[in-house]
Amino acid sequence: MSLYPLFMPTLTRICLTHAEGARVAWVCCPYNTRSGRAMKPSPPSAAPPKQPARLSLKRLAWLLVCGCLCLLLGLWLASTQPQGVARSMRLLQGNGWQVPATHLQPTTSTATKTALLTHGVLSSREFMLHLGESLAQIGYECLVIDFRGHGASAEPFVWEALGDDIELAARALAGEGNLGKPRIDLFLGHSMGAYAGQRAAKQGRFEAQVFASLGANVVPDSLAAARVLLLTGAQDLLAQPARQQELAAASQVPVEVVVVEACEHAFEPHHSALVEALLQHLGYTGAYPATGVWWLRQLGSLLVLAGALLLLWAGLPRLHAGGSEAALLSDGAASARPNEREHRAGKGLGFLVGGLAAVWLLACLAAGTHGVWLNLLPTERSLLPLAAFVVAFSALCACLAWLVGRIVRTQRRVLAGQLLLLAGTCLASLVFWAGGQKFFAFIALLAVPWLVLSFAFSQWVARRTGQETAALGSSGIMLGFFPGLWAPVFAGLWF
């Protein structure tokens, strides 16, 4: 008879301690002395969370060098200026208020015409500079302004007061000696800028020889202009081509409707075909002037983004997760307390690191695009609402993560909460559209790609740092950034 079964009651369980992760696993004996049959081993404790692989020193150095080169080269390309155009910053002084503006004029010839350019809602004058530079290259003296509550303007947003900004800019273009109604050769407005120009022209604040609108359903008969251009994209939801044709058919003044394929509302001022069509309708028959500069700037923006991500990849720290829940339970109450504190400290540090990574990415994008897409300007009006919306969206993501975790018990609670927020935004866009609120439906639709990019970036940061809470910090900053900057505008529209 073998002596092996006699010693089995004393060896029913053995403890195997693994050096990595300090994980404790209890393994049952594979033999039962009573039945003589093999026993199934008990399942081991949960494995610790997989930590991201550490970079070697050589690879880290290459990432740092490539990231810095992409960042510097991108910033240089993004600041490319077109030839033959002089740019200067001006601050127009009104009666108790100021209007920031960019003055563009040709350097190779004398400006023979004047043009006033106005941007849309939730935008800035940087968004219209590409159009202004193209007009300056064909002989226009251009003034591109920031409306109240937008861009570098510190004035509160008031819809009724936008006509004051337009009249002040028109007088600056017409000359100091013009005491009557200021007259300019071209007024070009995008979306809200076109509607504000229509209202100011109807009130007799200025007069334009040519009134051109981008993505706006303006009424031509109320513009007091000798010629009207209605430009829109085929995919524009706010200024649909059919509606533009209806306005042109009912007008008593000459109206030309220009519809550009594969063009959406927000990108109309940057669409090369639309800009070229505008120049042709203004009588310019030469080659499109600013194509090369525009592509160089877009390439620079992409290089800045690539450099920022490479530096983040090399610089994000690998945070200690503090152990798994199963390890904490198996160690006992006395030993679990310090690990639990370390676990909570790691979560807080992950939230901070994720937020700093998002701030770094937004700052690089703002520098690479000169504020065209992000409108990052350190004005006093935006700091308080920006902080409030960052906190609000961080809390919203945390609540969604907790709710999803309570319902489905998933490991990726933050990701599930983010997907729930994305689905809610898509549903809100459909509800607004069905209710006839096309503007808010358009804003919700614009938020969808930004949500996708924000969530993808936050999950990448969480994966690199090893802390899921890093996704809360980065997504809270990125989601709260735009509403924080736009809060004064929405407040002026609603109240």
Sheet strands side by side (includes 255-260): 85-93, 98-106, 140-145, 113-118, 183-190, 207-214, 227-233, 255-260
SS3 71: helix
422: CB partners within 8 A, 6+ apart: 448, 451, 452, 455
Higher pLDDT, 352 or 29: 352
In whole angstroms, give the CA distance from residue 382 to residue 488.
Answer: 8
Longest dimension (CA), the chain: 120
At 289 the pLDDT is: 72
* Beta strands, E only, 225-308: 227-233, 255-260
* Beta strands, E only, 192-349: 207-214, 227-233, 255-260
Statement: residue 405 has pLDDT above 80: no
| Phi/psi-derived region of residue 460, left when phi > 0, alpha when psi is between -120 and 50, beta in every other case | alpha
In whole angstroms, give the CA distance from residue 338 to residue 368.
Answer: 45
264-271 mean pLDDT: 87
In whole angstroms, give the CA distance from residue 186 to residue 183.
Answer: 9
What's the DSSP call for residue 76?
A: H
At 10 the pLDDT is: 39
User: pLDDT digit string (tens) for 241-260?
Assistant: 999 999 999 888 889 999 99
Tokens 């007799």 belong to residue: 204
Q: For residue 26, what are the CA distances in angstroms to 14, 16, 322?
A: 6, 7, 21
Q: Which of 228, 229, 230, 225 is nearest to 206 (CA)?
A: 225
Give me the sign of the Cα torsion angle 409, 412, 418, 420.
negative
Statement: residue 12 has pLDDT above 50: no
Contact 82, 137 (CB under 8 A): yes
User: pLDDT digit string (tens) for 422-476?
Assistant: 898 999 999 988 888 887 888 888 888 888 998 899 999 988 888 888 888 888 8
Contact 232, 258 (CB under 8 A): yes
The H-assigned helical ranges of 370-468 are 380-408, 413-434, 438-465
Highest mean pLDDT among 201-205, 273-277, 332-336, 381-385: 201-205
What CATH number belongs to 83-289? 3.40.50.1820
- CA angle 441-452-355, nearest 5°? 115
Contact 147, 193 (CB under 8 A): yes
Tokens 């540090």 belong to residue: 349
Structure tokens at 196: 């504000």
In whole angstroms, give the CA distance from residue 65 to residue 157.
Answer: 44
Q: Which of 197, 265, 203, 209 is nearest to 234 (CA)?
A: 265
Q: Residue 224 belongs to what H/E stretch? A: none
260: CB partners within 8 A, 6+ apart: 231, 232, 233, 234, 268, 271, 273, 274, 277
In whole angstroms, give the CA distance from residue 201 to residue 205.
Answer: 6
Q: Residue 305 belongs to what H/E stretch? A: helix 291-315
Q: Where in the chain is the domain with CATH 3.40.50.1820?
A: 83-289
In whole angstroms, give the CA distance from residue 9 to residue 492.
Answer: 79
At 121 the pLDDT is: 86
What's the DSSP call for residue 100?
A: E
Statement: residue 29 has pLDDT above 50: no
Statement: residue 164 has pLDDT above 90: yes
User: pLDDT digit string (tens) for 39-96?
Assistant: 555 555 545 555 555 667 888 889 999 999 999 999 999 888 888 899 999 999 888 8
Statement: residue 220 has pLDDT above 70: yes
Q: Rounded to two decimals, what is the model's pTM?
A: 0.78
Tokens 């400006």 belong to residue: 111
Q: How far apart are the first and last CA of the chain?
A: 93
The H-assigned helical ranges of 81-189 are 129-137, 162-174
b/e 284-321 (16+ beta carbons within 10 angstroms → b): beeebbbeebbebbeebbebbbbbbbbbbbbebeebeb
403: CB partners within 8 A, 6+ apart: 417
Higher pLDDT, 443 or 493: 443
- CA angle 311-313-314, nearest 5°? 65
